[in-house]
């Protein structure tokens, strides 16, 4: 019997799930809110770990393509003191492929491949328990039913309320994101500073991180501890006002760090929200969650990796026993909760150390996790 399966969201979780299911010749409907594939910029770069994101791509049969698209040299990491002194300068050996970087846009295109995503299908509500299946209500007023609905719709999931009343809470750390374009020709000194990978500067309760993507594109994140209302008197759409506010906040830092803010184009506000570290729920037949919808955590290199691995594992679990969807989902949920709970604690502790009253904590964390 062919089950009617839908996944809400075409981020790393939803697409990996759909792609692995497709590889096993099972049908899935992908429902995405964005009106088109390129409706918004795909975002910065992601590092995919060998046993997580890369394993998921192997399960999707996409390892060779990943090898071509990824940037192992992007693993390089430089840490500066706020006075500009280089404290660490780590470069990967040529064979080092534990955490290569890939642009989000390239990853999305790789996963999309033959998938037929339904764009412009914003889900408002998911209601399990109906006679003809789980009902999905759309923003345009339409309604469809499925045997299984998977919420891979990110931090502010509309699927989550069908299984759990929990909502994300603010960590006390916020971030402003900006971009540098054509960095090699327009800002050669910054290009040298950032190198092939990332540069980070850690100060008291604040940090500046710049990451190189493809084609001279750089994302810069200014992170700091602040109440959620910190911008009450600031117009976040006024680029120069935001720039001045950030330069004042990072006052006294050396020129190269501040130049990352001086040359940034538009600014986007990205306050860091999380779900409780061990978010579980009583199993609800016909609905489950993947990725950020299930376990939103600080952005410390785990979220997309977990999302993809979970997508691949759930798809394989369904493919192994397509006649018993509920058993496949239950087994998957237990595995997801155990692993995500561990990562949520690791990343929460990591955030405390990276944006900390004692910047030495950030350096100590780097030394702890970085291969020598």
Ligand X SMILES: Cc1cc2nc3c(=O)[nH]c(=O)nc-3n(C[C@H](O)[C@H](O)[C@H](O)COP(=O)(O)OP(=O)(O)OC[C@H]3O[C@@H](n4cnc5c(N)ncnc54)[C@H](O)[C@@H]3O)c2cc1C
What is the contact surface with ligand X in residues (CB under 6 A)?
Answer: 8-14, 31-34, 46-47, 122-123, 152-154, 158, 221, 270, 291-293, 299, 301-305, 307
Of 101, 99, 117, give the one whose Cα is nearest residue 11: 117
d(CA 360, CA 189): 26
* Angle at alpha carbon of residue 341, lines to 336 and 346, rounded to 5°: 130
Nearer to ligand X, 11 or 197 (CB): 11
Residue found under tokens 């798809």: 315
Q: How far is the CB of 360 from ligand X (least distance, A)?
A: 24
Q: How far is the CB of 333 from ligand X (least distance, A)?
A: 15
Q: How far is the CB of 46 from ligand X (least distance, A)?
A: 4
Nearer to ligand X, 34 or 144 (CB): 34
Q: How far is the CB of 323 from ligand X (least distance, A)?
A: 27
Of 12, 43, 358, give the one whose Cα is nearest residue 221: 43
Distances (CA, A) of 300 to 96, 258, 264, 346, 365: 20, 23, 22, 9, 12
Distances (CA, A) of 16 to 40, 72, 108, 163, 189: 20, 21, 9, 22, 38
Of 244, 237, 234, give the one whose Cα is nearest residue 266: 237
Nearer to ligand X, 156 or 237 (CB): 156
Nearer to ligand X, 15 or 190 (CB): 15
Nearer to ligand X, 47 or 333 (CB): 47
Nearer to ligand X, 66 or 221 (CB): 221
d(CA 254, CA 16): 42
Q: How far is the CB of 310 from ligand X (least distance, A)?
A: 8
Task: Give the three-class secondary structure for 224.
Answer: strand
Q: How far is the CB of 89 from ligand X (least distance, A)?
A: 20
For strand 206-212 and strand 218-225, is the pairing parallel, antiparallel, or unpaired? antiparallel
């Amino acid at each position: 019997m062919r089950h009617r399966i839908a996944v809400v969201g075409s981020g790393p979780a939803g697409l990996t799930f759909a792609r692995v299911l497709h590889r096993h010749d099972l049908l899935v409907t992908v429902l995405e809110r964005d009106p088109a594939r390129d409706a918004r910029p795909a975002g910065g770069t992601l590092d995919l770990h060998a046993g997580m994101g890369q394993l998921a791509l192997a399960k999707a049969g996409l390892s060779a393509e990943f090898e071509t698209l990824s940037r192992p040299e992007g693993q390089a990491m430089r840490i500066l003191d706020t006075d500009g002194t280089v404290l660490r300068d780590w470069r990967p050996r040529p064979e080092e492929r534990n955490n290569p970087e890939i642009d989000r846009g390239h990853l999305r295109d790789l996963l999309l491949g033959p998938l037929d995503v339904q764009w412009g299908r914003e889900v408002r509500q998911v209601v399990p328990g109906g006679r003809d299946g789980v009902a999905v209500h759309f923003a345009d007023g339409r309604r469809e039913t499925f045997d299984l609905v998977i919420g891979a719709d990110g931090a502010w999931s509309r699927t989550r309320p069908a299984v759990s009343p929990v909502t994300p809470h603010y960590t006390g750390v916020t971030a402003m994101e900006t971009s540098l374009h054509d960095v090699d020709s327009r800002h050669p000194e910054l290009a040298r500073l950032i190198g092939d990978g990332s540069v980070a500067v850690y100060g008291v309760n604040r940090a500046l991180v710049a990451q190189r993507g493809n084609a001279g594109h750089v994302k810069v994140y200014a992170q700091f501890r602040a109440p959620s209302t910190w911008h009450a008197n600031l117009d976040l759409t006024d680029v120069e006002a935001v720039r001045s506010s950030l330069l004042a906040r990072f006052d006294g830092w050396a020129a190269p760090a501040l130049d990352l803010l001086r040359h940034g184009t538009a600014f986007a506000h990205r306050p860091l929200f999380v779900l409780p570290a061990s978010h579980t729920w009583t199993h609800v037949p016909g609905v489950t969650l993947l990725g950020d919808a299930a376990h939103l955590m600080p952005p410390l290199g785990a979220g997309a990796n977990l999302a993809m691995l979970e997508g691949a594992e759930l798809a394989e679990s369904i493919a192994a026993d397509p006649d018993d969807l509920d058993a496949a989902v239950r087994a998957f949920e237990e595995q997801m909760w155990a692993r995500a709970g561990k990562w949520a604690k690791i990343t929460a502790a990591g955030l405390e150390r990276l944006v900390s009253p004692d910047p030495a904590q950030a350096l100590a964390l780097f030394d702890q996790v970085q291969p020598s």
